[in-house]
């Protein structure tokens, strides 16, 4: 091959190398650009997903020990069990979030239910067709801020109370296992043969005393045949609420 042919081949090889280098460089930049674009998109989606929509469902001033406290409850529209409760802008540490009753129809009161000489904030949660207070939450102010003082979990469990029909004796046995309390009620001829159950829970504040009530009803009968009233008292040693007097009427 002469000198002219050698130079021509060298130019062709250099041109091909330049094209290959340019292609690789462009492909690399495109991939990196695509990755950056995808990363930005993923990050944007993440921000959108983490951004929750809270709606203020309760906002009221409650007088506690002579001072007006602003209670505000904001609830996640997509998850009703996800909420933020604040007193005067300070978030309350919750032990339990009510699911059975919404906070839209809440009622705020103040009472010294712990017996320490200072009032706690009492939140009655209304719900159902009857509009009764289905659940109750107690908020107390501590050195660490506002916190919920939890009530016994058994109050919200159906297994805590039992009713047993004795068809032969024509009676109804009502039992509260948590306090080892029971009572037998004689049934009238019109009441015989009907199934019984405990329902219609109601939470009440009588002075400084918390009372949880459940009606015992017979299937198909509108009026209850008995009412189970359970007092809840504060134990200073444990710092928790516990069962007090149980009454079956």
List strand residue ranges (DSSP E) for the chain, in order: 54-64, 67-76, 79-87, 90-91, 106-111, 120-126, 133-142, 145-149, 161-166, 171-176, 181-186, 196-206, 209-218, 226-235, 240-248
| 224-242 burial code (b ≥16 CB/10 A, e <16) | bbbbbbbebebeeeeeebe
Mean pLDDT value across residues 166-174: 79
pLDDT score, position 70:
96
Mean pLDDT value across residues 52-79: 90
Residue 46 has pLDDT above 80, yes or no: no
* More confidently predicted of 159 and 154: 154
Of residues 201, 200, 199, the one with CA closest to residue 210: 201
pLDDT score, position 147:
93
Q: What's the pLDDT band for 65 if we cut at 50, 70, 90?
A: very high
Residue 22 has pLDDT above 60, yes or no: no
Mean pLDDT value across residues 4-27: 38
Location of structure tokens 């009221």: 60
Q: Within 10 Å of residue 190's Cβ, how many Cβ atoms?
A: 9
* More confidently predicted of 130 and 156: 156
pLDDT score, position 47:
29
3-state SS, residue 205: strand
Q: Are 113 and 210 in contact (CB under 8 A)?
A: yes
Identify the H or E element spanning 34.
helix 3-50
Distance, CA of 245 to CA of 229 (rounded, Å): 8
Determine the topology of domain 54-150 in CATH.
Answer: Lipocalin (2.40.128)
* More confidently predicted of 30 and 158: 158
Mean pLDDT value across residues 231-246: 91
pLDDT score, position 106:
84
pLDDT score, position 192:
79
Q: What's the pLDDT band for 21 if we cut at 50, 70, 90?
A: very low
Q: Are 98 and 151 in contact (CB under 8 A)?
A: no
CA 20 to mean position of chain CA atoms: 63
Q: What's the pLDDT band for 16 if we cut at 50, 70, 90?
A: very low
pTM of the model: 0.71
Give me 81's structure tokens.
Answer: 């069990």
* More confidently predicted of 44 and 123: 123
Q: Are 219 and 195 in contact (CB under 8 A)?
A: yes
Q: Are 227 and 211 in contact (CB under 8 A)?
A: no
* More confidently predicted of 144 and 161: 144
List strand residue ranges (DSSP E) for 112-160, in order: 120-126, 133-142, 145-149
Domain ranges of the chain: 54-150, 154-248
* More confidently predicted of 11 and 82: 82
CA distances from 34 to 30, 40, 43, 46, 172 (A): 6, 10, 14, 18, 74
* More confidently predicted of 203 and 52: 203
Mean pLDDT value across residues 18-33: 34
Q: Within 10 Å of residue 156's Cβ, how many Cβ atoms?
A: 16
pLDDT score, position 100:
53
Mean pLDDT value across residues 87-107: 80
pLDDT score, position 15:
41
CA 233 to mean position of chain CA atoms: 23
């Amino acid at each position: 091959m002469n000198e002219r042919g050698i130079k021509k081949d060298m130019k062709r090889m250099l041109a091909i190398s330049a094209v290959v280098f340019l292609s690789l460089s462009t492909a690399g930049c495109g991939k990196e650009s695509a990755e950056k674009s995808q990363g930005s998109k993923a990050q944007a989606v993440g921000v959108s997903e983490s951004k929750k929509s809270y709606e203020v469902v309760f906002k009221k001033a409650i007088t506690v020990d002579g001072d007006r406290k602003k209670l505000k409850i904001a609830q996640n529209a997509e998850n009703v069990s996800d909420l933020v409760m604040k007193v005067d802008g300070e978030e309350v540490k919750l032990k339990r979030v009510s699911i059975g009753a919404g906070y839209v129809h809440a009622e705020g009161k103040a009472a010294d239910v712990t017996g320490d000489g200072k009032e706690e904030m009492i939140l009655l949660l209304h719900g159902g067709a009857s509009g009764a207070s289905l659940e109750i939450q107690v908020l107390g102010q501590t050195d660490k801020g506002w916190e919920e003082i939890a009530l016994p979990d058994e109050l919200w469990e159906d297994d805590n109370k039992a009713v047993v029909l004795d068809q032969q004796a024509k009676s109804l046995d009502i039992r509260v296992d948590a306090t080892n309390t029971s009572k037998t009620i004689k049934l009238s001829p019109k009441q015989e043969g009907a199934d019984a159950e405990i329902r219609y829970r109601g939470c009440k504040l009588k002075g400084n005393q918390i009372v949880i009530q459940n009606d015992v009803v017979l299937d198909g009968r509108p009026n209850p045949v008995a009412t189970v009233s359970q007092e809840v008292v504060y134990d200073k040693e444990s710092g928790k609420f516990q069962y007090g007097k149980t009454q079956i009427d």
